[in-house]
Every structure is written in structure tokens, then in C-alpha cells.
Structure 1
Amino acid sequence: MRNQINQDVECTLFRTAFDTLSYTPATLGNYFADVVNGKYKQPVENVRALVASGRQEEANACKKNLPLLVAGGRMEGGRKREHLVGYSRCVTGDLDHVPGSPAELLCRAKALAYVKAGHISPSGTGLKLFVLVDSDMEHHEQAFAVVSRLLEADLPGVKVDPSGKDPNRGCFVSYDPTAFYKEVAEVVNIPVAPDQTDVFSPSEPRSLSNYIDKFEMNNPFTDGYRHSYVVRLASALNSAGFSQAEVTAECLYRYTAPGFGEKEILTTVGDIYRRYRTAHGSKNWCPPAAAATAGSLKSIKSITGTSENADLSDGSPLGPDIDDEDAGLPHFEKALLAALPTVLADALKGAVDDTEFDVLLLSSLTVLSTALPGVRGMNADDICYPPFYTLVIGPSGSGKGCISRAHKLVVPWQRAVYDNSFRKVAEYKKEKEAYELDKMKQRQGKSKPAPGTPLEEPQPVIQQQLHISGYTSTARMNEQLEANDPYASLLFENELESINNTLAQDFGGYGSVLNEAFHHEIVANSSKHNGSSFILHPKLGVLASGTPGMLLQLIPSTEKGLYSRFLIYRITGMSSYHPLTSSDDKLENAFYFDELGTRVLKIAQFLEKSSTFISFTDRQRKKLDRYFEREYYNVRVFGNEDIASVVLRHRMIIFRICMVLTALRKGEAELDVPKMKVGDDDFEMAFHIGTCCLRHSQLVSTTMKHSNSELHFKMPTAQLDLFAAMPDKFSTAEILEESVVRGISRASVFRMLKNAKNHKLLISYASGYYQKTDLGKSIAISDMG
């Protein structure tokens, strides 16, 4: 153990364990003052009274309503580990059900020089002890293990709760007049190997002074810009892997001057290392002036000796970054969509530009997919229903808010289902009341059983509500999906932020429900508090919009299966200002989509009375298979394998769009036919919409792996175009030379060659020489290449 470092412990105080969005910053000293002064006296004594009377379950429930202290540091936006923005180097020792008297054990803990603070737990049966360590957050688990061993050795008979190994672990507040807090306590030293704290390239000497000298050549340290200079320098040194202590000492030596003192330098460097701790060592150190670029390559001979198994990190497997406006994301071709069902075509009449047309079309199809009762089909030998998921992603002010107009199309249908269900619930309540009254009279002996069939207990009827908001608990969503059957539910949110905030809560983790409901797989839930639910074929559509940042919060990685379940439309380029028009002079224009909703209601009511089975023709299946087989192997060989499921699920979504278009035509014409084939016009429109959105989804997927706050697109077909550009026979040197021009890393080229050989796209007829097979020759350069 060594002398103290920062003894002022920053903490976070949450209003309750469940309300993780209501919190205030605090210090450990202020918190202990409240513990001693009795700020939490009444609720804590209520808990202790319940414990003393043996009502442990009630005590636990009461305790969960207490405020929660996270001593691990300052948190922002929630209580998960990723919300910890300032680590306090404080380890919490939770000692439950201690042997003997907690008060006596607290006195013994106070005598330990390294225990910073301690109090009796709110239940009155244990202790909460707080110990400072000298390690960073990445070594918190190691620090917890060291502190646990110390406490268990110095306080024989106690056992430290292992839950404290997480730095975001909280403890309920307490009341204890005997609690102690030391202004200064010993700091426990945590042994950390040198290679765990500083990250350097093994081929370069460790020279901080040399690095700063090179940095100063292009970044002079001048009056008026000293603070910003130290910010930029500390950021670069943090990314290069130099330790905070070493950087602080060097900056104090070089830059301390009148008007720019030690305190400001210490604060600035410390703030950069705290805020960007995840970037520490992300760029291996090398002298800045000597950095080579792809443009400085003079001869291909310098790279032909690279092993195919080399682990190289130059470049990207998807090529260089491209800007939004250069992404080439397609709009829907209006000429191909001229034959839409009437109600859809009317919904699109007011679109002011191509983006609004596209967004209105997608959102209308999505909401209408949930208003087609009795419609189904088959996909890969499984029953399939029309509802599907859509996300509209774009920057603020890009026009994605028009999805609210499309939502009005299904409001009359949702209201009709609600009203009909409301009447059934009222009837059930009357029957239930009569049944209970009859039973009560019989128990009291006031009436004899009436002749005939005795009253039977009515089956429960739950109110149906097809609209589901993003702020819905998992239990409530399961209940609604079960109650709404056989109708489809619609999860609609104008802002993804609502869904993200709910998924961050313990009660709102319905991500698995979304995954299962997309495929109409069984959704089951069972808990003591909420009972059991079992939905055999859940039907759920999802429509939401948000910014690119909100999407990354919802789905940070393409490894999550939820990404492939969404039809994604990404708004790119410069959005246009829309001037006011004379249409605002007519009040009836505000109810245009409501009137369309009345027409949708009639279609839905007709379809409910006439069940519909929809299927493809053989020609349509063959066209789908030709296209998606090629796309499937393209992403397997030339792209990110995570998005192979994106390709397959877009094939399924195209079928669901076909079901929507076909069912709308049946409803509009009131055709009483049980089986329908998808019309060729409807198939071509659905195929066009689905394949355009696949392009959007593939491009957006290239942003999912980025850790930078500024996201850039990459070319999703970069490797395919490289392969297609090569002649039928080529050498390793030739393809590597071409890859340099295209900005594709050497390691990625070798992996692509290996995959291409495994999938019989080429053969190696000599060391370093390849020949394309007939299958490989069929690979053509993409539109983006």
C-alpha cells in the first residue's frame, strides 16, 4: 500500500434502483454526512422493522425503493458499465449477514488504515465498506479481488459479496449515526503488469520526448492557444499509449508558465485521459513525421513477400471512407411503381420530393402490413404473415417525420378492434360479477341452486390494443401480443430514443421479443409477479425513425440479429427546405390520411371475413433465388459475413411486401377467393423496393463497426469489384498492386483469395498464381464499382 492519491471520491446517487435516468452527482463525504445526520432514517428504519419481524420479502421490496449509491464514479445516461464516465478508484465491500454484532465489526473495520469509510447496511445485518485503490477501471476486477482478500483476512469470518467486481455496482443508502468517513486513508496498491498500462509498438523505442518534439514541429506552442495545444497533445499521446503519469510530468516540465500553471495542466491532461480512456493505445506509437502512406509506395516488390497468414492492420477490408452524398444510395423508381393499389397510390400523392415519396411508401406498406387480418402465406415451409419491421434513418430535419402521416392509415382499424374488444370486456365483467354474486349467495345459504345448468365461471377477456409504444415493458408487450391475437400489433415510434431508453431499463429488455416475433416464433414468458404468457404465432410490425446515432445505440453491431430483421432506409445527401403552400388554407387537408384510414378499415373488415393464402409463381421464385443466391455468396466471400442474414431476411421481407400488395388488391375489389398468386406487377414492385433497401442496409452496416464518433461509409462491394477487375489469370503481386489503388488491405486480399478458393471461384495452379473458374468468371463489377 502507498500514500493516497485523490481522496475526494466522486459518486452517483440514483433516485431508485429502477429509475436509472434520475440521478445526481455526489461525493462519498457528502453521502456519509447524510447517512449520519438521518436523511434516510425513516425509510431505512421501516426496512429494519420488517427484517426484525421476519417479513424478509416485504423488507426486500421496501429496500428496492431506497436511493442507490454508485461509489465507482460519475455516471451519465444510465447505470450500465458503459455509462460510467468518471472512475473514482473506489471499491465497495458488501458484507452481508456478518457474524456477531455489525456495530462491533464496524469498529474493527474503522481501525484498518486502508478502509476509507463504512456504515451498517439498511437491513441492519451487514456492512458497507469503501476502499480506495490506485488502479484504473480496466483493472477494477483485479482491484476488487485484492481488496476482498484484505478484508476477509483482516476481518475473520466475513465474506465479501462478489457482485462488487463491477465498478457500476450500487448499494442502497442507509442510516447509521456510528458511520465513519476518513478524510485521508491509505490507498491499496494493485499490481499491474507494465504491458497492461502502456501500449507501444514493439518495433519502436519508447521515447515520449521524441514524440513531443516531432509533434511541436507542426504544432507550435504559442500564447493564446496553450490550452487547446495541450488538449490536442494529450489526445495524441493517449491514443499512442503513453501513460497519464508520464505525460503529465513531461507537460509540467515543458509548458508551465505564468498564466498557465500546474493546476490547469494537471486538470487538462487528466480530463483527456478520463474521457477518452477507451482510445488508450488505439494507435501504436510511431514518429509522426515518418508515417508512410499508400501514396508513397514506389514498387510492388516491397510487398510481394508478405505471408498469406500475416496479421496486418493497414487499410480496411471494405476500402476507403466515402461521404454520404457519394454513397450512391438509390431512390425508388416511380415509373416502376405506377401500378400500386389505389389506397397506396393516393397516400403518396402529396409527396413533395423523392425522399418523402420513398419514406411515405415504406412507412405506409409497414403499417398496412398490420391491418390485413386472415392473410398468410408460406416461406421456407413456415407459415408467414404480412407484418414486417422498418427503420427510417436520417439526420435531424431530413424529412423522416412524415412517417406520422402514414401511421394514420391504420388508426381507424386499430380503434375498431379496440371498441369491439371493449364491449367484450364489459360483457365479461357483467358475467363475472353475476357469477361471483351467485357463488356468494350459495356460500351464505341465502339461495338454493337454480334449476337447470348452473352458472359457469366466464373465461377472462383482456382488452385488445393493437398500438404499442416504444415505452412499454417486456411483460406488457407479451400481454398485448397475447391479447391481440389473431390480429397483428404495431410498435410505432417517431423517435428511436424512446425505444433505446426503454431497452436500457431492466423492465424494458424486449429485444428478444422483437427477434422472435419477426419470425412468428413462440414468445413465452413466466414470472411470479407477471404470471405466464404463451404466444404461438405472434404478429408484430415495427415502424420507427431516428438519427444514425440512435441506430447505433439500438444496434451497435451487425452481430446482433435485430439488425438483419429491419428494412432500413437511410436518408443521405443535402435535404431541401420545403416552403409553405396554399394547402394550409383548407382545414380538410389535415384529415386526408384519416379519410384514407376509413378506406383501409373497410378493406381490413372485408379481409377478416374472407381468409387469404398468398404464394409466388415458379417464375417469381426462380428470379428471387437467382438474385439472392448471388448476393448471399457475394457477402460471404467479398464482404462482412455478419450481413449474410440481412440478405436472406430481405428475401422474406419482399414476400411480405408482396402479401401486402396482393391483399390490398383483394380488399379493394372485394374478391372472395381463398387463394391468390402474387401478380407480376406486384412482384416487380416488391422486388424493386426490397433490393433497393438491401443496398441501404448493406451500406449502413459498414458504419456499425466504427468506434469513432464521426461515422463514414465504406464501399460494400470493394472486394467484389477487385476480384471482378482481375483477368482470368493473375498473380499475387498483380492483385496486391490493384488493392493498393483501391485502398483494400493486404490481409483482406489474402483472406478473400482463401475464401474464393474454398468456394471454387478460382484455383491456384502455381505458387502465387491463380486462375478463375467458370463460376469465378461470372462475377461482374457492381454498379458502385
Structure 2
Amino acid sequence: MIDSLSVKGTFFDSAIRTWSARMMPLDQYINEVKNGVHAPAIARIRELVSAGKNKEAESLKKELPLYVAGGEMQGGRRLEHMVAYSGCICTDIDDPAISPQEVLRIAGSLPYVKAGHISPSGTGNKLFILVDSPLECHSLAFELVRRRIETDIPGVTVDRSGKDPNRGCFVSHDPDAFYKVESEVLSLPMPEPASVTHAPRPEAGRTADALTNYIDKYEQDNPFAAGGRHSHVVKLAAVLNNAGFSPYEVAAECTRRYVQPDFPAGEIEKTVTDIYRRYSASHGCNPYRPKEEQETKKCLKSLKNSPIVPGQQQASEEDQEQPDIEPDNLLLPRFGKDVYENLPTILTDILERAPGETERDTMLFAALTLISSVTSNVRGSIAEKIHYPCLFGALLGPSGSGKGCVAGMHALIAPWQQYVYDNSRCYVKEYERKKMEYDLYIQSKKRPSKNAAPQAGLPPEEPEVVKQRNLNIFGYTTLARFIELLQVNSPYASCLFETEMESLIHTMGQDFGGYGYLLNQAYHHERAGNDSKTNGTFMVAEPKLALFVTGTDGMFPQLVPSTENGTFSRLLIYKLTGDAAYRGLTSADDSPTAANCFDVAGQRILDIGIHLDGSPTWVNYTDAQRKRIDRFFEREYEKVRVFDNEDLASAVLRYRLAMFRIAMVLTALRKGEARSLERVCTVCEDDYRTAFRIMEVCLQHAYVVSTSLNREKRVAHYKFPYIQQKFFADLPDRFKRAELIEEGNVRGISKSSVNRMIKKCEEQKLIVSVGAGYFEKTTKGKTIVAPEIP
């Protein structure tokens, strides 16, 4: 039974002198942290960290005392020395995207966080959480706690190395550290004992065969290459760990297959062991059952039973190995209440009428995307390239999930679009008047009248063509017209708002409407054009386009068929779970006020847009914000390249850009509301946290949605480009065909390729035949040397 009132841990005088220890309750440990018992040493460590001397700081930190919250230890700090388990899990958070002080504030408001303080380096946090599970289930409990923390606190990643119950944390100094006398104890769902006791154990021989077959299938799509040996073993070990294979068998099989003089067995075994240790919580989460798969295949006796239907592609082996799930609020988190506490006033007012949390999220998502098209005079730079705030958003969900609440939100930008249209119409009318005068003048010259008086002054010049601007673009638009509108609307941003994704799917599937390329170019403001005999030439140098589309989960793969499709990585994605509740009728329907609720906000956005149009704005991050962003995205980028679909790497990088564009929209709204004339605006902390949380949630949703799309399996394989030239240059001046074929076999060159090379060399007079299967190089052939790579 877990004692939530008195959590007993162990205090060690240092991480090295583990024989010197004493029992210390968690509340006493937190008091020492708050009262500065170890303040001088902590201050020195933080000075070194601030000066960039991380190695010296790390060395000094290892001399600090150590506290193990997991329980009472006797005789050492290994797991076998634990005599009483406390049920307390210590989570380690390093370099969060938000400040450690903010992390501590949020953690203190969570009912299940017992205690917490800032780490000795000052750049992270230690949080203590109680669980009601036994010691044997500590790893599973840690995984539960990790997911709860990463879900409830935006921008944090819990270090997985802290999953051991005997994990200790170095003492610190933090006057704001907290301890709760009463806190919630997290419950871990426990399996039935019978399911564990009577689980069948596979036979040794069958397991070995299954492992060999499994790796053979894996290598069909992931060949072992000299340039990526370590990465290959890392990925393979992660997959085999999830499939439930023994680490000892995996290490032995990988050593047998991949050992080389410069890739020794020790390195392979260490890599496999490390992956199994780091991800032990996910061991066997996707068990390999070849016998069940074979039985499933035997059941397919006719084409009627085939799961493949026209328009669908068969899932890859990698996709078939993954079990289907129904995404819930854990995998599809919401923005959270903190996002709504410090929004610009106009957004707060727009969201007042949201009936629930789901509708509030979707309305904010749509509002940011739509308003991004009003801020076309706002700019900023990411990776030394200028960008505008234009966002691409996709709202996905099953029928009846709540997508319809955004249908009327186009009214937010309708006044702005009408304002630009009316101004443009004045110029068009002036052009039409001048064109009419010019046409009359030309006509009078062709048919002069005898009684006509001579015209005074200079003859009229042919006016330059002025076309009507229209910022509103529909899904049913041809490619040529789309480009023309982007060209005419420049420098203003156009907006494509469609609540029926089917319109884009149908149009992009036609020859006249395949504008997927244009969407990809417009997202980065890159030059795009179209040239045809019928429509002529249209070219837009710097397109600006905001896009918002809603649709069902089944329609989205028709719009974006695979994760390799460039449109996927450009879309901010928010997926609804389908658990929306029925909304009853209210008296708000007694007047048209509720139906026109966005009209008033639209007039305010018009005023903001006019102000921003007359006051150029440059938006930038602070150095501290950039460092936090880099820490988060570097981890995400490495994670998806090693353990997930590599196609998602581009999505991670573009979500970094999308976060900046969200921050630009929020900053521009604040400037517009204040009618400020500042030309350079730095993203404030409130807007940074809001943009980060929205990006983080949408990225998680994109990860989930990506699993429903096809993965591109056509991997390009490269070889040394000069293999035959080097082969020929290495030959002696006199050689025999049979010897040449044998040497080619060693170098991986087929017999037919060798014979073709001999024939071509004879034709080019590089060699001559001297009989009996022998050849000699000519003077010209001797000039062929091994290539040098510049």
C-alpha cells in the first residue's frame, strides 16, 4: 500500500559514496532544497552553465549529494539494495521549450504532482509523482507518468533514462520548490494474473527461425549499406524490440549478419543492448505472430474476400505489422486552457460563443488560418528566408464530429476581402474609361469625319491593363485561373477556404486543375507559372496564399495520398476524435444575432488589416526563444529519422516555420489592436507559448494521421558511378577474358556486363584481341586511368 502522506526515500552523501546513506522523507528533502542547504555548490554549477562550461559543471554536479525517491535503500544504490518501495517516480525534464519556472508553475497546479523543483543546472526540472503499482510494474508506471506529464505540460520531454525505481536526482537549490501534503495517486491498470502466468512460451527453434525470417523481410525494404551500418542496426533493434524478440538472440543474429573488420561485434552488441535498455517499456508492444498471419492468408479463397478495392493501395508489410487503433484524446491532445488565457482580444471575443472545448479548438485553428491572409504586410525571416504569415490548415474528423462549427467563419475576413475588391474596382473602372477613350480615338483615325474638329493636345495612350482583384478563391478553380488570381491579387494574400474537401479532390484530379504543385510553391512564396496556347502565360513571382479545408478521415488520403507528398508536410493538421456530444437547441435561434456573430468581429479585423496595410511590420524571435525552439525540433527531427517514417522529417522542419507564422499572426493582431506604428516587433512570451502549444498539438495530430497514409517504398539505391572505368584502369596491359569475368564477379559486376564492356572497348579501339581469349590494351587504352573525385 502506497503511503501518500509520508514518502520515504534515501539520501546519499554522493553518487560515488553510496555506502553513506540515510532514510529521508520527501518533504524533508524538499525543505533542504528550498532552504538553500546546498546553495553555494548549486550557485557555482549554474555560473559554469551560464558561461558555457558544461563539462566543468557536469563534473562538479557529480560531487553533489543524491536523493532516491523510489524507496529505502540499504548497503548500496543498486536495485537489489531496495528494501522498501515508496511508489514515487522522479521525472527528469531537461531543456524544456518553456522556462523551468513556468514548468514548475504548471506542475504545481496538476493534482497528481506531489513535489517539484528546478534542477541544479537551472535548465530543467525534477517532478515527483506517486503511483499505486508494485515495484514489478515500475517501468509501466513510469511510461504512464511520462505520457501524462508530456500531455499536461506543453513543450516538455521526460528523460526516459529515469525509468528505473532506484533512479536518483542530485540535490538543488530552489526557493520556489513545492511539496503537497495531499496529492492524487495515479492508478496503473493491472492485467489479470492468469494472462501473465499462463502465457505460452515459444519454442527455441521456432523463435530462431522466426527471427531470421523477420530480419530477411525487413532487409527487403531496408538493405544493409556500408554508409549507414549503425543507423541500420539501431532501427532494426527498435523494430525487433517492439516485436518481442529476445535481446540476446537479436544481438547474436545481428553480429552474425553484420560483423566486419571496422564494425566489430562489440559495437553491434552494445548498440542492440542500448536500444533494448532505453525502450524496455515498449518491448513486445507489437508482437510478431507468423502462424496467425499464415492462417489469415489461408482464409482468402476468392477475390470477393480481397480487402483491396479500386482506388486503394495494399498496405506495406511495415503497416501490416502495426495494430490498428482508435485515436483518443491521449494520442490527439487538445490545445489546453493555458492557450486561451493570453490571446489577443479579438480572438478571445471570437471564441466566446464556442459551445465546448472541441469547438473552441477548431474555431481558434480556423481563425488563425483565415486571419493570416489579412496580414500580408507583415514579414519575418526563418533560416535566412523571408516569409509571410500565410498558414495552411486541414481540419479532419468523422461525420458529426463538430467540423461544421467553422463553416460561417469566412465572415471574419469577408469585409477585408470586400474592401480590397472595392478599391481594385475603382482602378478597373478608371482603366475601362481610359481604354474606351483610346479605342474611340483609334476608331476615329481609321474613319475620319469631314466635319470633325481637330483634336487639341496629345493623343491618348493605350492604358496598362488593370484586372479585378478577388482574394477569395474556391476549390473549383482551374490552374491557369488560380495562378492569374495570385498574380493579380499580389501583394495581398489570397485565401482558399473550403468546408468540402471533395471540391479540391475533384479539381486536382482533372487535367485543368492539378494545382498541387502550385500549393507547394505558394506555401514558400516561390515563383510559379503556367503557359498554354489557349490561356497564354501567367507568372507570379511571390505568391501569398492561406488555405483552410475540412473533410473526413476517408477523404484526406485522396487529397494527400502519402507522407512523401509535399502537401502533407505543409498542412497544419487538427484531427477530431469523433466523441462530440449532441448540442440541443436554444433560444439563441429566436433572432439573427447569433447567426451573424462573426460579422462584428469581421469589421474589427478589417480595421486591423487597414492599419497593418499602412504600417509595414517585421517580426522576430528573441535569442532565448530561438534556442528553445532548436532544442525541441532537433530532438523531434532526430527521432523521426531514426524511429519513425523518414518522410516526416520534412513535416517537422515545416512545422517549425508554421509555428513562426502563428507567432507572426498573434504579434500582428496585438499591433493592430493597439494601433501601434512600431515597424519591428519581437514575439512576446505569451504569444511564443501559444504558438508553441498549437504547433506541438498539431504536430502530434500529424504523426497520428500519417499512419493512415501510404508510405513511399520506392527507395533510390546508389552505387559507385565509375565502377567500370576503375575496373578497366586497374587491368594489366595484357589480360584474359576468363580472368576478367572472375575479377568482375568479385567486384559485383555481372558476366554479361563484362562482355559488353569488352565489346565496347574493342569498338572504341581501347583493346585488341590477340587470340586464345587474350586481349591487350592499345596506346589509347593505356591512357584510361582510375577516376579522381574532386
Give the TM-score of the pair, scaled to structure 2: 0.50
Does the alignment pair 1:395 with 2:398?
A: yes
Q: Is the 8 A contact 1:239 1:282 kept in 2?
A: no
Q: Aligned equivalents of 1:354 and 1:493: distance in 2?
A: 23
**Contact residue 464 and residue 483 of structure 1 kept, 8 A:** yes
Kindly indicate whether residue 323 of structure 2 is the aligned counterpart of residue 320 of structure 1. yes
Q: Determine if the alignment matches structure 1 residue 593 to structure 2 residue 598.
A: yes
1:270 positional shift: 6.8
Whether 2:331 is the aligned partner of 1:345: answer no
8 Å contact from structure 1 (residues 378, 615) kept in 2? yes
Q: Decide whether the 8 Å contact of 1:632 with 1:648 is kept in 2.
A: yes
Task: Report SS of the residue matched to 1:472.
Answer: coil
1:331 aligns with 2:326: no
Provide the residue aligned with 2:389 in structure 1.
386
How is 1:45-124 mapped onto 2 (pairs within 5 angstroms)? Answer: none
Mapping for residues 328-727 of structure 1, pairs under 5 Å: 328-446=331-449, 450-705=455-710
Cα 1:701–1:277 change in 2 (3 A) is: closer
More moved, 402-411 vs 633-642: 402-411
- Write out aligned runs for 1:286-297 (5 A): none
- Residue identity in the other structure for 1:362: F
Alpha-carbon offset, residue 443 of structure 1 = 2.4
How far does residue 366 in structure 1 lie from its aligned partner after superposition? 0.2
Is the 8 Å Cα contact of residues 511 and 562 (structure 1) preserved in structure 2?
yes
Amino-acid identity (%): 45
CA distance in 2, matches of 1:336, 1:442: 69
SS at match of 2:596: helix
Aligned-partner Cα distance in 2 for 1:354–1:559: 32
The 1:392/1:276 distance shift into structure 2, 3 A limit, reads closer
Offset, 1:573: 4.5
Q: Partners of 1:282 and 1:685 in 2: how far apart?
A: 37
The DSSP-based 3-state class of the residue aligned with 2:534 is: coil
The residue identity in structure 2 corresponding to 1:464 is: R
Cα distance, 1:590–1:528 mapped onto 2, change above 3 Å: same
Letter paired with 1:590? A
CA distance in 1, matches of 2:303, 2:575: 39
Shift of 1:380: 1.2
The one-letter code of the counterpart of 1:532 is: T
Per-residue deviation, 1:586:
3.0
Q: Is the 8 A contact 1:517 1:539 kept in 2?
A: yes
**Matches of 2:581 and 2:648 in 1, distance apart?**
32
Q: Secondary structure at the match of 1:556?
A: coil
Helix, strand or coil for the counterpart of 2:334? coil
Letter in 2 for 1:414: Q
Q: Does the CA contact (< 8 Å) of 2:331 and 2:701 recur in 1? A: no
AA aligned to 2:595 is A
**In 2, distance between residues paired with 1:518 and 1:282?**
30
Distance 1:543 1:278, change over 3 A: closer
Q: Secondary structure at the match of 1:377?
A: strand
Counterpart code for 1:505: Q
CA-to-aligned-CA distance 1:335-381 (integer Å, 9 cap, x gap): 23311111111111011111101100000000000011311111111
What SS does the aligned partner of 1:349 have? helix
How far did residue 585 of structure 1 move? 2.2
Q: Which secondary structure state, in structure 2, belongs to the residue aligned with residue 588 of structure 1?
A: coil
Contact 1:240 1:280 in 2 (8 A): no
TM (norm. structure 1) is: 0.51
For the Cα contact (< 8 Å) 2:376–2:388, is it kept in 1? no
2:483–2:538 CA contact under 8 A, matched in 1: yes
- Do the aligned partners of residues 616 and 271 (structure 1) sit closer, same or farther apart at CA in structure 2, a change above 3 Å counting? same
2:598 aligns to what SS in structure 1?
helix
| Separation in structure 1 between the aligned mates of residue 592 and residue 529 of structure 2, nearest angstrom | 47
- Show CA shifts across 1:29-50 (max 9, x none): xxxxxxxxxxxxxxxxxxxxxx
Q: Secondary structure at the match of 2:380?
A: strand
Given residue 508 of structure 2, which amino acid in structure 1 is its aligned partner? L
Partners of 1:381 and 1:443 in 2: CA distance? 57
Deviations along 1:625-648, one digit per CA (max 9) or x if unpaired, are: 110011000000111000101100
> Residues 282 and 417 from structure 1, CA distance in 2 versus in 1: closer, same or farther, beyond 3 angstroms?
closer
Deviation digits for residues 139-185 of structure 1 (CA, Å, limit 9, x no counterpart): xxxxxxxxxxxxxxxxxxxxxxxxxxxxxxxxxxxxxxxxxxxxxxx
Evaluate the alpha carbon distance shift between residue 636 and residue 281 of structure 1 in structure 2; reply closer, same or farther with a 3 A threshold.
closer
Distance 1:273 1:685 in 2: 47
Distance (Å, rounded) in 2 between the aligned partners of 1:484 and 1:370? 12
Secondary structure of the structure 2 residue equivalent to 1:348:
helix
Aligned amino acid, residue 471 of structure 1 = Y
Return closer, same or farther for 1:277/1:439 CA change in 2, 3 Å cut-off: closer
Deviation track 1:668-692 (CA, whole Å, cap 9, x = no partner) reads 1100121111111111110111111
Cα deviations across residues 388-445 of structure 1 (Å, max 9, x unaligned)?
Answer: 1000000000011112232210011111111221222121111101001011112223
Q: For residues 449 and 660 of structure 1, what CA distance do their matches in structure 2 show?
A: 59
Structural RMSD (CA): 2.8
Consecutive unaligned residues of structure 2, counting only runs of 5 or more, are 1-215, 218-293, 713-790
Distance in 1 (CA, whole Å) between partners of 2:394 and 2:313 is 34
CA contact (8 A) 1:555 1:562 kept: yes
What secondary structure, in the 3-state scheme, does the structure 1 residue paired with 2:467 have?
coil
For residue 118 of structure 1, what is the aligned residue in structure 2? none
Distance 1:616 1:275, change over 3 A: closer
Return the alpha-carbon distance in structure 2 between the equivalents of residues 355 and 281 of structure 1.
34
- Does the Cα contact within 8 Å between 1:363 and 1:390 map onto a contact in 2? yes
Map residues 136-155 of structure 1 onto 2, 5 A cutoff: none
In structure 1, the gaps of 5 or more residues are: 1-201, 204-235, 248-268, 284-312, 708-785
* Matched-pair contact (CA < 8 Å) for 2:400–2:578: no
Partners of 2:623 and 2:341 lie apart in 1 by 24
Change (3 A) 1:237 1:452: farther
What one-letter code is carried by the residue in structure 2 that aligns with 1:372? T
SS in 2 for 1:340: coil
Count of residues paired in the alignment: 420
Shift of 1:534: 1.3
Q: Structure 1's 338 and 458: CA in aligned 2 closer, same or farther, altered over 3 A?
A: same
Q: Deviations over 1:572-620 (max 9, x none)?
A: 1522111112222232222210110000001111111111111111111
- Equivalent position amino acid for 1:399 in 2: G
Distance 1:282 1:241, change over 3 A: farther
Q: Is the 8 A contact 1:635 1:644 kept in 2?
A: yes
Contact preservation (8 Å) 2:375, 2:389: yes
* Structure 1 residues 195-241: Cα deviation after superposition (integer angstroms, max 9, x where no partner): xxxxxxx99xxxxxxxxxxxxxxxxxxxxxxxxxxxxxxxx999659
Q: Is the CA contact 1:462–1:483 (under 8 Å) kept in the aligned structure 2?
A: yes
Q: Is the contact between residue 613 and residue 674 of structure 1 (CA under 8 Å) also seen in structure 2?
A: yes
